[in-house]
Protein backbone atom coordinates (compact mmCIF):
# COMPACT_ATOMS: atom_id res chain seq x y z
CA UNK A 1 0.00 0.00 0.00
CA UNK A 2 1.27 3.45 -0.89
CA UNK A 3 0.12 6.43 1.17
CA UNK A 4 1.14 9.99 0.44
CA UNK A 5 0.40 12.57 3.14
CA UNK A 6 0.19 16.29 2.40
CA UNK A 7 -0.38 19.00 4.99
CA UNK A 8 -0.35 22.75 4.89
CA UNK A 9 -2.42 25.85 5.64
CA UNK A 10 -5.57 26.96 3.82
CA UNK A 11 -5.11 27.96 0.20
CA UNK A 12 -1.56 26.64 -0.20
CA UNK A 13 -2.57 24.66 -3.28
CA UNK A 14 -2.58 21.27 -1.55
CA UNK A 15 -5.76 19.99 -3.15
CA UNK A 16 -4.79 21.01 -6.69
CA UNK A 17 -1.46 19.29 -6.23
CA UNK A 18 -2.86 16.20 -4.51
CA UNK A 19 -5.54 15.79 -7.18
CA UNK A 20 -3.03 15.99 -10.02
CA UNK A 21 -0.65 13.67 -8.21
CA UNK A 22 -3.41 11.08 -7.74
CA UNK A 23 -4.23 11.28 -11.43
CA UNK A 24 -0.62 10.84 -12.54
CA UNK A 25 0.06 7.98 -10.12
CA UNK A 26 -3.39 6.46 -10.67
CA UNK A 27 -4.21 6.33 -6.97
CA UNK A 28 -7.12 7.58 -4.85
CA UNK A 29 -7.29 11.18 -3.64
CA UNK A 30 -8.96 12.07 -0.35
CA UNK A 31 -9.57 15.73 0.43
CA UNK A 32 -10.02 15.50 4.21
CA UNK A 33 -10.95 19.19 4.51
CA UNK A 34 -14.14 18.38 2.58
CA UNK A 35 -15.18 16.08 5.42
CA UNK A 36 -14.81 18.84 8.06
CA UNK A 37 -16.71 21.15 5.72
CA UNK A 38 -19.58 18.65 5.47
CA UNK A 39 -19.89 18.45 9.27
CA UNK A 40 -19.86 22.27 9.40
CA UNK A 41 -22.57 22.45 6.73
CA UNK A 42 -24.79 20.11 8.72
CA UNK A 43 -24.29 22.24 11.83
CA UNK A 44 -25.16 25.45 9.99
CA UNK A 45 -28.21 23.77 8.40
CA UNK A 46 -29.39 22.73 11.85
CA UNK A 47 -28.82 26.26 13.15
CA UNK A 48 -26.46 25.16 15.92
CA UNK A 49 -23.50 27.15 17.21
CA UNK A 50 -20.57 25.35 15.56
CA UNK A 51 -18.25 26.63 18.29
CA UNK A 52 -20.23 24.92 21.00
CA UNK A 53 -18.74 21.51 21.64
CA UNK A 54 -21.85 20.10 23.33
CA UNK A 55 -24.16 21.23 20.52
CA UNK A 56 -21.86 19.75 17.88
CA UNK A 57 -21.37 16.51 19.82
CA UNK A 58 -25.16 16.20 20.03
CA UNK A 59 -25.74 16.10 16.27
CA UNK A 60 -22.48 14.35 15.33
CA UNK A 61 -23.80 10.76 15.62
CA UNK A 62 -26.51 11.63 13.10
CA UNK A 63 -23.99 12.85 10.50
CA UNK A 64 -24.19 10.35 7.66
CA UNK A 65 -21.06 11.06 5.64
CA UNK A 66 -20.07 9.17 2.55
CA UNK A 67 -17.21 9.67 0.09
CA UNK A 68 -17.82 8.39 -3.42
CA UNK A 69 -15.82 8.70 -6.63
CA UNK A 70 -17.35 9.50 -10.02
CA UNK A 71 -14.89 9.38 -12.93
CA UNK A 72 -12.09 9.68 -10.40
CA UNK A 73 -13.56 12.83 -8.84
CA UNK A 74 -14.38 12.86 -5.13
CA UNK A 75 -17.99 13.57 -4.17
CA UNK A 76 -19.07 14.16 -0.60
CA UNK A 77 -22.52 12.94 0.44
CA UNK A 78 -24.14 14.29 3.56
CA UNK A 79 -27.27 12.44 4.65
CA UNK A 80 -27.58 11.00 1.14
CA UNK A 81 -27.21 14.34 -0.66
CA UNK A 82 -24.22 15.35 -2.81
CA UNK A 83 -22.92 18.49 -1.06
CA UNK A 84 -19.61 18.76 -2.97
CA UNK A 85 -20.49 22.22 -4.31
CA UNK A 86 -22.29 23.56 -1.23
CA UNK A 87 -19.29 22.91 1.05
CA UNK A 88 -17.07 25.22 -1.03
CA UNK A 89 -18.98 28.38 -0.08
CA UNK A 90 -16.96 30.94 1.81
CA UNK A 91 -19.20 30.80 4.92
CA UNK A 92 -18.36 27.11 5.32
CA UNK A 93 -14.59 27.69 5.54
CA UNK A 94 -14.69 29.40 8.93
CA UNK A 95 -17.31 26.99 10.28
CA UNK A 96 -15.18 24.00 9.17
CA UNK A 97 -12.19 25.40 11.03
CA UNK A 98 -14.43 25.82 14.10
CA UNK A 99 -15.86 22.27 14.14
CA UNK A 100 -12.40 20.85 13.43
CA UNK A 101 -11.26 21.97 16.89
CA UNK A 102 -13.66 19.53 18.51
CA UNK A 103 -11.96 16.18 19.30
CA UNK A 104 -15.14 14.10 18.79
CA UNK A 105 -15.43 15.45 15.24
CA UNK A 106 -11.79 14.66 14.51
CA UNK A 107 -12.00 11.14 15.92
CA UNK A 108 -14.99 10.30 13.74
CA UNK A 109 -13.42 11.66 10.56
CA UNK A 110 -9.91 10.35 11.23
CA UNK A 111 -11.31 6.84 11.57
CA UNK A 112 -12.87 7.12 8.09
CA UNK A 113 -9.62 8.56 6.68
CA UNK A 114 -7.45 5.79 8.10
CA UNK A 115 -9.89 3.18 6.87
CA UNK A 116 -9.69 4.49 3.30
CA UNK A 117 -5.89 4.79 3.46
CA UNK A 118 -5.61 1.18 4.62
CA UNK A 119 -7.63 -0.08 1.66
CA UNK A 120 -6.33 1.99 -1.25
CA UNK A 121 -3.11 3.44 -2.55
CA UNK A 122 -3.92 7.03 -1.82
CA UNK A 123 -2.92 10.62 -1.35
CA UNK A 124 -4.58 12.45 1.55
CA UNK A 125 -4.37 16.16 2.16
CA UNK A 126 -5.29 18.16 5.24
CA UNK A 127 -3.74 19.59 8.38
CA UNK A 128 -2.88 16.57 10.53
CA UNK A 129 -2.24 13.84 7.96
CA UNK A 130 1.56 13.73 8.35
CA UNK A 131 1.45 14.13 12.13
CA UNK A 132 -1.63 12.27 13.30
CA UNK A 133 -3.70 10.47 10.67
CA UNK A 134 -0.88 8.69 8.81
CA UNK A 135 2.38 9.25 10.68
CA UNK A 136 3.84 6.23 8.85
CA UNK A 137 2.89 7.38 5.34
CA UNK A 138 5.45 6.47 2.68
CA UNK A 139 5.81 10.08 1.59
CA UNK A 140 5.11 13.26 3.51
CA UNK A 141 4.94 16.83 2.29
CA UNK A 142 4.26 20.20 3.90
CA UNK A 143 3.04 22.65 1.30
CA UNK A 144 2.65 26.33 2.04
CA UNK A 145 2.71 29.85 0.56
CA UNK A 146 2.58 33.36 1.98
CA UNK A 147 -0.83 34.46 3.35
CA UNK A 148 -1.09 37.12 0.60
CA UNK A 149 -0.51 34.61 -2.19
CA UNK A 150 -3.01 32.22 -0.62
CA UNK A 151 -5.67 34.91 -0.22
CA UNK A 152 -5.17 35.97 -3.86
CA UNK A 153 -5.62 32.35 -5.02
CA UNK A 154 -8.81 31.96 -2.96
CA UNK A 155 -10.13 35.22 -4.42
CA UNK A 156 -9.66 33.94 -7.97
CA UNK A 157 -11.22 30.58 -7.07
CA UNK A 158 -14.31 32.21 -5.55
CA UNK A 159 -14.59 34.71 -8.41
CA UNK A 160 -14.61 31.85 -10.90
CA UNK A 161 -17.65 30.51 -9.06
CA UNK A 162 -19.32 33.90 -9.09
CA UNK A 163 -18.84 34.53 -5.35
CA UNK A 164 -17.66 38.07 -4.54
CA UNK A 165 -15.49 38.53 -1.43
CA UNK A 166 -13.06 41.37 -0.61
CA UNK A 167 -9.35 40.56 -0.76
CA UNK A 168 -8.83 42.08 2.69
CA UNK A 169 -11.62 39.92 4.14
CA UNK A 170 -10.05 36.80 2.64
CA UNK A 171 -6.58 37.73 3.89
CA UNK A 172 -7.87 38.29 7.42
CA UNK A 173 -9.80 35.06 7.22
CA UNK A 174 -6.78 33.07 6.06
CA UNK A 175 -4.69 34.47 8.92
CA UNK A 176 -7.43 33.67 11.41
CA UNK A 177 -7.78 30.12 10.08
CA UNK A 178 -3.99 29.64 10.17
CA UNK A 179 -4.09 30.62 13.80
CA UNK A 180 -7.09 28.41 14.65
CA UNK A 181 -5.79 25.39 12.76
CA UNK A 182 -2.33 25.53 14.28
CA UNK A 183 -3.32 26.41 17.86
CA UNK A 184 -6.05 23.90 18.63
CA UNK A 185 -5.00 21.48 21.36
CA UNK A 186 -5.81 18.24 19.54
CA UNK A 187 -3.97 17.34 16.30
CA UNK A 188 -3.13 20.90 15.19
CA UNK A 189 -1.53 21.85 11.89
CA UNK A 190 2.19 21.23 12.35
CA UNK A 191 5.13 20.68 10.11
CA UNK A 192 6.69 17.34 11.01
CA UNK A 193 10.46 17.00 10.76
CA UNK A 194 10.21 14.19 8.23
CA UNK A 195 8.00 16.14 5.79
CA UNK A 196 9.43 17.69 2.65
CA UNK A 197 8.81 21.45 2.89
CA UNK A 198 7.68 23.24 -0.26
CA UNK A 199 6.88 26.96 -0.44
CA UNK A 200 4.71 27.41 -3.53
CA UNK A 201 4.54 31.24 -3.41
CA UNK A 202 6.74 31.63 -6.50
CA UNK A 203 6.14 28.25 -8.13
CA UNK A 204 3.65 27.18 -10.78
CA UNK A 205 1.47 24.14 -10.15
CA UNK A 206 3.58 22.16 -12.62
CA UNK A 207 6.78 23.08 -10.81
CA UNK A 208 5.32 21.91 -7.51
CA UNK A 209 4.10 18.62 -9.04
CA UNK A 210 7.51 17.99 -10.58
CA UNK A 211 9.19 18.70 -7.24
CA UNK A 212 6.88 16.31 -5.41
CA UNK A 213 7.27 13.61 -8.07
CA UNK A 214 11.04 13.92 -8.01
CA UNK A 215 11.04 13.17 -4.26
CA UNK A 216 8.75 10.20 -4.78
CA UNK A 217 10.89 8.75 -7.55
CA UNK A 218 14.07 9.35 -5.58
CA UNK A 219 12.97 7.62 -2.40
O1 LIG B 1 -8.58 22.38 3.50
P2 LIG B 1 -9.90 23.08 3.78
O3 LIG B 1 -9.83 24.56 3.69
O4 LIG B 1 -11.01 22.54 2.93
O5 LIG B 1 -10.25 22.68 5.30
C6 LIG B 1 -11.32 23.26 6.00
C7 LIG B 1 -11.03 23.25 7.49
O8 LIG B 1 -11.04 21.91 7.97
C9 LIG B 1 -9.68 23.81 7.91
O10 LIG B 1 -9.74 25.16 8.26
C11 LIG B 1 -9.26 22.99 9.08
C12 LIG B 1 -10.04 21.73 8.96
N13 LIG B 1 -9.22 20.56 8.63
C14 LIG B 1 -8.60 19.90 9.66
O15 LIG B 1 -8.69 20.36 10.80
N16 LIG B 1 -7.90 18.76 9.43
C17 LIG B 1 -7.78 18.28 8.20
N18 LIG B 1 -7.10 17.15 8.00
C19 LIG B 1 -8.37 18.96 7.10
C20 LIG B 1 -9.08 20.12 7.35
Flag whether pLDDT at 214 surpasses 80. yes
The closest-lying atom of ligand 1 relative to the alpha carbon of residue 11 is 3
pLDDT of residue 218: 82
Q: Which of 90, 88, 92, 89 is nearest to 31 (CA)?
A: 88
Q: For residue 16, is it within any domain?
A: yes
Query: How many domains is the chain built from?
Result: 1
Q: Which residues are bridge partners to 126 per DSSP?
A: 7
pLDDT of residue 36: 98
Question: Burial level of 210, CB count in 10 A (0-12/13-18/19+)?
Answer: exposed
Share of the chain above pLDDT 90, in %: 92
How many Cβ atoms are within 10 Å of 199's Cβ, its own excluded? 15
Ligand 1 contacts CB of residue 36 (under 6 A): yes
Ligand 1 contacts CB of residue 181 (under 6 A): yes
Model confidence, pTM: 0.94
Band the pLDDT of 71: cuts 50, 70, 90.
confident
Ligand 1 contacts CB of residue 123 (under 6 A): no
Q: For residue 116, is it within any domain?
A: yes
The closest-lying atom of ligand 1 relative to the alpha carbon of residue 184 is 15
Q: For residue 188, is it within any domain?
A: yes
Q: Give the pLDDT confidence of 143-169 residue by residue, as tens digits.
A: 999 999 999 999 998 899 898 999 999
Flag whether pLDDT at 90 surpasses 90. no
**What's the mean per-residue pLDDT of the chain?**
95
3-state secondary structure of 52: coil
Distance CA 152, CA 3 (A): 30
pLDDT of residue 132: 97
Q: For residue 111, is it within any domain?
A: yes
**Structural domain boundaries, residue 193:** 3-207
Atom 9 of ligand 1, nearest CA residue: 97
Query: By 3-state DSSP, what share of the chain in percent is helix, strand and coil, each rounded to 5?
Result: 55, 15, 30
Mean of pLDDT values over 185-200: 96
Amino acid sequence: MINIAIDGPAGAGKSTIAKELAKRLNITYLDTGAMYRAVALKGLNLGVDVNDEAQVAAFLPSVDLDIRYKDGVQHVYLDGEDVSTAIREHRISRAASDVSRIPAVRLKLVEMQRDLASKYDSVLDGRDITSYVLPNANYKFFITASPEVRARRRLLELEEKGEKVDFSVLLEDIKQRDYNDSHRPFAPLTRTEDSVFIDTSDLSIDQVIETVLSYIKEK
